[in-house]
Amino acid sequence: MVESALVGWSRAQFALTAAYHWIFVPLTLGLAVIMAVMETLYVIKKDEFWKQTAKFWMKLFAINFAVGIATGIILEFEFGTNWSNYSWFVGDIFGAPLAIEGIFAFFMEATFFAVMFFGWEKISKKLHLASTWFVAIGSAISALWILIANSWMQHPVGMEFNPDTVRHEMVDFWALVLNPVAVSKFFHAVFSGWMTGAIFVIGISCWYLLKKRETRFALASIRVAAIVGIVGTFAVMLSGDSSGIHVGKYQPMKLAAAEGLEEGGTRAPFSIVPGVEIPGMLSILATHDIDGYVPGINNILEGYTTPDGDVYLSAEEKMEKGKIALAAFSDYTKLKEVDPQTAAKARQLLDENVEYFGYGYIESQEELVPNVPLIYWSFRVMVYFGSFLLLLMIVVLWMEWKGRLVNMKWLQWVSLLSIPLVYFCGQAGWIVAEAGRQPWTIEGLLPVKAAVSSVSVGAVQTTFFIFVAIFTLFLAIEMRIILKAIKQGPETEE
């Protein structure tokens, strides 16, 4: 697929912003729960140690939270600056969950953040604890509405096309909210944040152990973080299982690309690495049935019939129907005022083929195949690194419980050096989700080349490099402030 320079640079800029933003979001989700658990222990045990422990991680949470807001705001503005056709075409639907997130969830999160961070000694312990938990809940709710919007792009539901306004309009708000893709994606993303926060806390705490500082604080933090992280990782695995079913059902090309599967069938194998496969495992993961049919890339392009008799059109057939839909739409808009009878026939033809409207913009079937090597290896980075980190948390928790972790320098080093791995894991997951959906901005509905704004390539290139500089500066400043806070350490008494 050869895409225009404008589309390529617009995609690159959005990918850059999203990737930087996702550095901060999962840590916010994870640290919020961990520090809330620690403050709960303080209220229950009435031990000042847990208060100071919670306050330390709360300080790091605040630094990360502030920088995350800046990147998130820029990300939302890019829908209007770089993807104005997309915003016009589906803004009535896509804008609703984003508005709810900003008005309700983020407002709740920010309000209770202020109470949490500045309310020590000013309000009762229980009220302060409630504010901390509301920050954690608000962070999750904020993620929920953003993920509802994103999931609609993966599996558009609850809308219909209005040719008079040239917009897709929402007809079922609850179909949007209860989109099965949104449910699994929400749990997958939020619990992956628990995992990120846990690995971060464990790694930093192991640095204190290596420095032979704040030993009680470090071991206590590891205990809480490891439990939260292990629970979160198992939840990620469960939600990932349901997500696999949804991808197989609604986005078969993404699944085929993630497996490098050219020819599908029943008892489809799962590829561990190229040339090493587990027979039937992909069918189990995608359909929960070892005899389940999973189409490959070639099957999707050429069209196929499942063993149950379900017929799926070829790419060429979909493209032809898409061109019919585009032509019918053009005829309808031209004739609705001057020849209502002919316009009505054009409208009927449009309604019959509107499902394939987006395919009318596709010029060759090769455009429908995403970057297979990128998706294939990103999926394996996510799965393999995630599995390693789960094993690491289990081992660390076991050794801490046995009282041996404090003397195991090699395990402390492994934990510290594993902090970047959890970020690679999260970024790889989003690469699979977003790059695996290409060439679609909205699956099967609107390709990226029809969604981009009419701006100059030079303008997008210029802002891309400005954002590179700004985001890198943000990240460097955050890391410097966090490292300074870590070096200073918690205000606890050994």
CA atoms within 13 A on the CB side of 105: 19
How far apart, in whole angstroms, are the C-alpha atoms of residue 332 and residue 346? 5
How much is the pLDDT for 106? 77
Which of 295, 300, 327, 326 has the alpha carbon at shortest distance from 313? 300
User: Exposure of 241 by Cβ count < 10 A (0-12 exposed, 13-18 middle, 19+ buried)?
Assistant: middle
How far apart, in whole angstroms, are the C-alpha atoms of residue 443 and residue 318? 13
Number of Cβ atoms within 10 Å of the Cβ of 55? 18
- The structure tokens listed for 202 are 């464990």
- Would the pTM of this model clear 0.85, i.e. be above it? yes
How much is the pLDDT for 47? 93
- The structure tokens listed for 424 are 């690679």
How much is the pLDDT for 72? 82
How far apart, in whole angstroms, are the C-alpha atoms of residue 360 and residue 321? 7
How far apart, in whole angstroms, are the C-alpha atoms of residue 202 and residue 309? 52
Please report, for the chain, the start and end positions of each structural domain, with discontinuous segments joined by +.
10-251+370-487, 265-359
How far apart, in whole angstroms, are the C-alpha atoms of residue 198 and residue 35? 11
Beta carbons of 188 and 144 less than 8 angstroms apart = no
Number of Cβ atoms within 10 Å of the Cβ of 430? 19
* Residue ranges of the chain whose pLDDT lies below 50: 1-2, 494
Residue with tokens 């704040």: 214
Phi-psi region for residue 286, left (φ > 0), alpha (ψ -120 to 50) or beta? Answer: alpha
- The structure tokens listed for 169 are 């309009």
Angle at which helices 180-210 and 5-45 cross, to 10°: 60
How much is the pLDDT for 69? 82
How much is the pLDDT for 491? 78
Angle at which helices 48-81 and 5-45 cross, to 10°: 160
How much is the pLDDT for 3? 64
